[in-house]
């Protein structure tokens, strides 16, 4: 992440915290850097940084756009609570992440499919081997192959742990620890531990899929 990127965020927030004239200018500048951009041609359309963030986390454009609008409202309402402008970008992303989490929690309440726990598989104490076999049969009945299982488990992991999934996505996209730390609002050391926790959470879910075997 460039210094200029952080400077822009600070400039935007400085205007938003100003008088009415400054706030109007800040709103325009905010929309220019973080909102959608429409061109003459359909190919010129750019959903904007914040909407793109939501889309990379599994949301459709409409859903991500809604999260962007909610985030914008919160940023302008809470602008006065930002004490140090140098942390403007981290502060805005914190609001964006929290808004995304709240949005997804509401989505989860509407789901009708069975949501298996990603932390552990409940195994009967009376007959563990039987319970394991039953679970294997259940997996085979539920998924056609390992690929389907992996995709579904990844989807469930994202819905259960969106912040952990986002951090892993950043790392897989080639972002360094310092950049990831800046986005998720943690220190570099805390970010390394956070990524380690994310990997520990997702590994067991992938191992489940190995029980299926390719058909």
Q: Which of 110, 125, 155 is the last residue of a domain?
A: 110
Q: Which of 52, 75, 110 is the last residue of a domain?
A: 110
Domain match, 70 and 148 both: no
User: pLDDT tens digits, the chain, 215 residues: what are they?
Assistant: 567 888 999 999 999 998 888 888 888 888 888 888 765 566 667 888 898 898 888 888 888 888 888 888 889 888 989 988 988 998 999 899 988 988 888 777 655 443 544 444 444 444 444 444 454 445 455 666 666 777 777 778 877 888 888 887 777 666 788 888 887 878 888 888 988 888 888 777 666 666 665 44
Euclidean distance between CA atoms 94 and 96, whole angstroms: 5
Domain match, 149 and 77 both: no
Domain match, 61 and 76 both: yes
Domain match, 50 and 147 both: no
Domain match, 3 and 106 both: yes
pLDDT at residue 40 in the model: 58
Query: Which residue pairs, CB below 8 angstroms and at least 24 apart, start in 54-63?
Result: 54/100, 56/166, 56/169, 57/100, 57/158, 57/162, 57/165, 57/166, 57/169, 58/155, 58/158, 58/159, 59/100, 59/103, 63/103
pLDDT at residue 114 in the model: 39
CB atoms near residue 7 (< 10 Å):
14
pLDDT at residue 12 in the model: 92
Euclidean distance between CA atoms 130 and 187, whole angstroms: 45
Q: Which of 88, 110, 132 is the last residue of a domain?
A: 110
pLDDT at residue 172 in the model: 66
Domain match, 122 and 209 both: yes
Domain match, 99 and 153 both: no
pLDDT at residue 198 in the model: 84
**CATH number of the structural domain spanning residue 33:** 1.10.1740.10
pTM, two decimals, is 0.51
Domain match, 134 and 97 both: no
pLDDT at residue 162 in the model: 81
pLDDT at residue 113 in the model: 43
Domain match, 119 and 44 both: no
How many domains are contained in the chain? 2
Question: Which structural domain, as residue segments, surrounds residue 14?
Answer: 1-110
Domain match, 211 and 140 both: yes
pLDDT at residue 15 in the model: 92
Domain match, 129 and 176 both: yes
Domain match, 27 and 43 both: yes
pLDDT at residue 164 in the model: 84
């Amino acid at each position: 992440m460039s210094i200029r990127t952080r400077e822009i965020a600070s400039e935007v927030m400085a205007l938003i915290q100003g008088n009415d004239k400054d706030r109007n200018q800040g709103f325009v500048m905010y929309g220019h850097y973080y909102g959608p951009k429409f061109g003459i041609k359909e190919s010129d359309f750019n959903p904007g940084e914040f909407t793109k963030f939501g889309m990379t986390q599994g949301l459709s454009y409409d859903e991500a756009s809604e999260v962007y609008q909610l985030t914008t409202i919160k940023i302008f309402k809470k602008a006065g609570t930002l004490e140090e402008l140098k942390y403007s970008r981290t502060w805005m992303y914190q609001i964006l992440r929290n808004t995304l989490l709240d949005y997804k929690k509401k989505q989860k309440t509407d789901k009708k499919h069975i949501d298996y726990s990603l932390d552990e598989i409940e195994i009967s104490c009376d007959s563990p081997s039987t319970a394991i076999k039953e679970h294997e049969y259940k997996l085979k009945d539920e998924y056609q192959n390992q690929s389907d299982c992996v995709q579904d488990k990844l989807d469930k992991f994202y819905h259960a742990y969106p912040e952990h999934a986002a951090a892993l996505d950043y790392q897989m996209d080639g972002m360094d620890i310092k950049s990831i730390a800046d986005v998720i609002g943690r220190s570099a050391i805390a970010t390394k531990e956070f990524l380690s926790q994310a990997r520990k959470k997702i590994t067991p879910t992938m191992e489940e899929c190995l029980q299926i075997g390719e058909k």
